[in-house]
Structure 1
């Protein structure tokens, strides 16, 4: 039996700058077909001595948000494994 599912991840990136400093925040959201909803968050700050390259802050913030989402998804999987097998599983 072959099945295909599509999970979409929404990415929202928000940045603020004030003189030589800047802060970029990212939020990623996943809604699975079973209704599970997860949100990951990430942030990046520009050091005042760094050159102005907003895309770097965006990349870092989004990667950190995706990492947070990944950690949460592993935890959900661990809980599901424990519920289905009766044996606790700890994600690594």
Structure 2
């Protein structure tokens, strides 16, 4: 029998001049939360495409979130096993 588990991830965006920011938040089943941020800068000669800035900033925030989640998981493995684990980078 399989167990269904879900995570709730939130992404919020802000735009200030030529800079787009993304704030990511994930709530895990153990009650913990991980927060991350990502940014994108638009060159002054680039066309104003808010969606593209959101995609870049959002992707960067999610990559940071993924990295923090891997660190958390490996810390828990290390604590439970009493030895150092090595996350795969790719």
With normalisation by structure 2, the TM-score equals 0.92
Between the two proteins, the alignment pairs up a number of residues equal to 88
Stretches (4+) displaced over 3 A: none
Give 1:10's aligned residue: 10
- Taking the aligned partners of 2:48 and 2:22, their CA distance within structure 1 comes to 18
Unpaired segments ≥5 residues, structure 2: none
Moved more, 59-68 or 30-39: 30-39
- Taking the aligned partners of 2:78 and 2:48, their CA distance within structure 1 comes to 47
TM-superposed deviation, 1:40: 1.1
TM-superposed deviation, 1:24: 0.3
TM-superposed deviation, 1:54: 1.0
Give 2:73's aligned residue: 77
- Taking the aligned partners of 1:15 and 1:52, their CA distance within structure 2 comes to 11
Give 1:50's aligned residue: 46
Moved more, 58-67 or 27-36: 27-36
Give 1:60's aligned residue: 56
- Taking the aligned partners of 2:74 and 2:29, their CA distance within structure 1 comes to 18
